[in-house]
């Protein structure tokens, strides 16, 4: 998704902006641009990577500037459609993340008034409106402009005649880093870490005036005091640390992530949400909302909550809830979102909150919109995740859900003790998978030439089949489908031949026999089978063409090792296919538009 950055300080703005844009590359984008305020307002844009912008931009001097990575929504990826956008007189430059929903009507009105537009974007109306309203005071013109915009935005604006940057937000994220004699703004925290760990998260409806010396935040025209948060991430967390890709680094961080999340975990402590929230007292059930990989974490949680706590759980895609005509009647909801900024999650949360629902956000980003919106927040402890494909955040979400569930008083003490001690073995099991990477790499080599692949699982590992398929399609561009193993005969059988491998997650639980039958059925159609099976499952060797081993463990926690295995399978398959693993085409890390 689009990323915005801005700098006002004592250094040259251009290198600071370029460096910050590199730190936003993980969000996914197709073009980039900068505007630097020197003796005049200089703008330069380039299609493609930030490095292409960096290699071609002239040396613009100036201590204030803004920059943008664009993920096309209105108009194809091109130099003209790239941001910053400007007005007829080229006195104002604007970068924008979000969608202006009434831009078409505004554009027609502005054209009738004599404004000339050059791009297909919704954003271009903003500098033209600022131009129209400007009477010598940038913030006054920005406020007038914002008053007539509908839709979502995080914007940063600079003007030729003013030594400042004006920022504002509604729906899209914007954070401000407070440095020493310099201030920096961005769509996310990583670009700020080179300057400071002191951060202000702008809220919807707020406007900021940023100069080298000061950050002033206004709401409804009044200066307000905003809390400053201290971010506990550091610059090493957002570097590759010797790994070829962020994704591989993040996969390898997982044993540490699990270990840290379990440090000082006490299942006897009062849970952040108790049985009332979980719904077993009032019998109301629970709703889990999420998108993408986080949705799969929600599906695993459903199995665990229903099995252990006897509470019915509905897991819904936020992008669906958000477009339902009727609000789903529910008392309590958990929103799972790594970024805390996924527009569909935020919109559905708002709808539920307005309908009187109590919400818990499980997120990775302190001060994110989801955290600020929810009644309560549980922070997963994954550290910054920069590869577009979610890996460690998924595992961290699972761990937080397990921790929460195992604290519920409804569980008997002996069962709690047994499960908690099993859970504490997970860092070791995750490490085991990483230590046995070779077997996965071999299978990846085998899968990489195929065009289609199926992933099947049952029970608690059905969501892992979905996640495995999502991972490989995201980064290797192989068409993949995740299926409940029992459903494969209701359609996919027509596709199964020797050119369509099937990755089967084989759990040593009450689904085992049924899965073995499925594998036999698949083999009769001559489709190659790669089984992901426990170390002590020797029978599977007689059936599957290839077996990837995972350690023996309690089935409840098997999604963790199976997911890590399938992350590596996707990673190495994409690597064999020569794909740009961290920045897959057309995808964004943080989907901040509906
Ligand atoms: C994007 C990312 C996925 C992520 C999904 C939901 O599609 O590429 O990796 O799972 O958004 O994001 P969230 O931040 O809400 O978990």
Which pTM was predicted?
0.84
Task: Say how far apart CA 322 and CA 324 lie, in whole Å.
Answer: 6
Ligand 1 pocket test target in 250, 298, 339 with most atoms within 8 Å of CB:
339
DSSP, collapsed to helix, strand or coil, labels residue 161 as coil
3-class secondary-structure state, position 14:
helix
Task: For residues 114 and 241, give the distance between their C-alpha atoms in angstroms, rounded to a whole number.
Answer: 53
More confident call, 328 vs 423: 423
Question: How far apart are the C-alpha atoms of 346 and 181, rounded to whole Å?
Answer: 34
> Would you call 249 a catalytic residue per the annotation?
no
Report the nearest atom of ligand 1 relative to the CA of 364: 14
Is the backbone of residue 95 left (phi > 0), alpha (psi -120 to 50) or beta? beta
Query: From the CA of 525, how far away is ligand 1's center (Å)?
Result: 35
Lowest mean pLDDT among 462-466, 523-527, 588-592: 588-592
Question: What's the CA-to-centroid distance between 590 and ligand 1, angstroms?
Answer: 6
**What letter does residue 119 receive in the DSSP assignment?**
S
Contact 243, 211 (CB under 8 A): no
Distance of CA 366 from the midpoint of ligand 1 (Å): 16
- Name 156's bridge partners: 95, 167
> Of 2, 47, 443, 579, which is the active-site residue?
2
Question: Can 589 be counted among the known catalytic residues?
Answer: yes
> Which residue ranges have their beta carbon within 6 Å of ligand 1?
291-294, 337-339, 342, 345, 388-390, 587, 589-591
At residue 222 the predicted structure's pLDDT band, cuts being 50, 70 and 90, is very high
Q: What is the DSSP string of 522-585?
A: HHHTT--EEEEEETT--THHHH-SEEEEE----GGGHHHHHHHHHHHHHHHHHHHTT--TTS-T
Give the Å distance between the CA of 353 and the centre of ligand 1: 22
- Using the mean position of ligand 1's atoms as its centre, give its distance from the Cα of residue 435 in Å: 28
pLDDT of amino acid 285: 72
Q: What is the pLDDT of residues 120-158, one digit of tens each?
A: 999 999 999 999 999 999 999 999 999 999 999 999 999
Looking at ligand 1, which residue's alpha carbon is closest to its atom 7?
Answer: 292
CA distance 70 to 4: 9
| Cβ 319 vs Cβ 344: under 8 Å | yes
Please, which pLDDT band fits residue 330 given cuts at 50, 70 and 90? confident
Q: Is the pLDDT of residue 507 over 70?
A: yes
Local confidence band at 591 (pLDDT 50, 70, 90 cut-offs): confident
Kindly report, residue by residue over 149-200, the tens digit of the pLDDT. 999 999 999 999 999 999 999 988 999 999 999 999 999 999 999 999 999 9
Asked whether residue 239 carries a pLDDT value surpassing 90, the answer given is no
**Whether pLDDT at 280 is above 60:** no
List, for residues 249-272, the tens digit of each pLDDT value: 999 999 999 999 999 898 888 887
Q: What pLDDT score does 351 carry?
A: 92
Q: Whose CA is nearest to atom 2 of ligand 1?
A: 589
The conformation of residue 415, written as its DSSP 8-state character, comes to: H
Instruction: Name the active-site residue from 45, 164, 249, 589.
Output: 589
Query: Which stretch of DSSP H or E encloses residue 486?
Result: none
């Amino acid at each position: 998704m689009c990323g915005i950055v801005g700098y006002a300080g004592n250094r040259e703005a251009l290198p600071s902006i370029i460096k910050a844009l590199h730190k936003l590359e993980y969000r996914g984008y197709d073009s980039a641009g900068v505007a630097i305020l020197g003796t005049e307002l200089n703008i330069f844009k380039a299609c493609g990577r930030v490095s292409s912008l960096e290699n071609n931009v002239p040396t613009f001097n100036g201590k204030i500037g803004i920059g943008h990575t664009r993920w096309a929504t209105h108009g194809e990826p091109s130099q003209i459609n790239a941001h910053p956008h400007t007005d007829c007189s080229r006195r104002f430059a604007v970068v924008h993340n979000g969608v202006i929903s009434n831009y078409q009507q505004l554009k027609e009105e502005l054209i009738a008034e004599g404004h000339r537009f050059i791009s297909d974007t919704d954003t271009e109306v903003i500098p033209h409106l600022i131009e129209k309203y400007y009477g010598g005071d940038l913030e006054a013109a920005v406020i007038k402009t914002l008053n007539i915009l509908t839709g979502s935005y995080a914007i940063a604006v600079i003007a030729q005649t003013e030594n400042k940057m004006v920022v504002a937000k509604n729906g899209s994220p914007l954070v401000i880093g407070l440095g020493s004699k310099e201030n920096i703004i961005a769509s996310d925290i990583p670009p700020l870490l080179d300057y400071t760990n002191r951060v202000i998260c702008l809220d919807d409806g707020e406007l900021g005036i940023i100069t080298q010396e000061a950050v002033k935040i206004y709401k409804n025209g009044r200066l307000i005091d905003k809390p400053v948060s201290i971010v506990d991430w550091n610059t090493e967390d957002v570097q590759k640390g010797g790994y070829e890709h962020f994704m591989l680094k993040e996969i390898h961080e997982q044993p540490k992530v699990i270990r840290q999340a379990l440090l000082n975990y006490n299942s006897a402590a009062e849970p952040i949400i108790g049985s009332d929230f979980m719904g077993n007292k009032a019998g109301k059930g629970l709703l889990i909302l999420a998108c993408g990989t986080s949705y799969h974490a929600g599906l695993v949680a459903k199995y665990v909550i229903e099995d252990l706590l006897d509470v019915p759980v509905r897991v819904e895609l936020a992008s669906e809830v958000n477009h339902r005509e009727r609000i789903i009647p529910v008392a309590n909801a958990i929103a799972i979102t790594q970024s805390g900024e996924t527009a569909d999650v935020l919109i559905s949360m708002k709808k539920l909150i307005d309908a009187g629902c109590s919400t818990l956000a499980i997120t990775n980003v302190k001060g994110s919109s989801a955290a600020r919106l929810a009644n309560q927040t549980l922070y997963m402890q994954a550290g910054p995740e920069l590869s577009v494909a979610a890996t460690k955040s998924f595992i961290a979400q699972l761990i937080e859900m397990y921790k929460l569930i195992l604290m519920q008083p409804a569980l008997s003490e002996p069962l709690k003790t047994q499960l908690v001690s099993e859970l504490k073995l997970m860092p070791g099991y995750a490490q085991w998978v990483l230590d046995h990477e070779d077997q996965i790499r071999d299978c990846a080599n085998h899968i990489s030439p195929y065009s289609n692949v199926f992933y099947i699982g049952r029970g608690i590992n059905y969501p892992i089949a979905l996640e495995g398929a999502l991972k490989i399609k995201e980064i290797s561009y192989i068409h993949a489908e995740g299926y409940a193993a029992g459903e494969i005969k209701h359609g996919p059988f027509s596709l199964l031949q020797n050119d369509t491998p099937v990755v089967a997650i084989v759990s040593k639980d009450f689904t085992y026999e049924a899965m073995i039958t499925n594998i036999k059925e698949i083999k009769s159609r001559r489709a190659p089978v790669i089984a992901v099976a426990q170390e002590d499952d020797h029978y599977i060797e007689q059936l599957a063409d290839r077996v990837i081993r995972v350690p023996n463990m309690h089935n409840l926690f098997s999604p963790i090792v199976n997911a890590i295995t399938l992350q590596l399978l996707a990673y190495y398959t994409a690597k064999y296919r020569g794909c740009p693993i961290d920045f897959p085409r057309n995808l964004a890390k943080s989907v901040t538009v509906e």
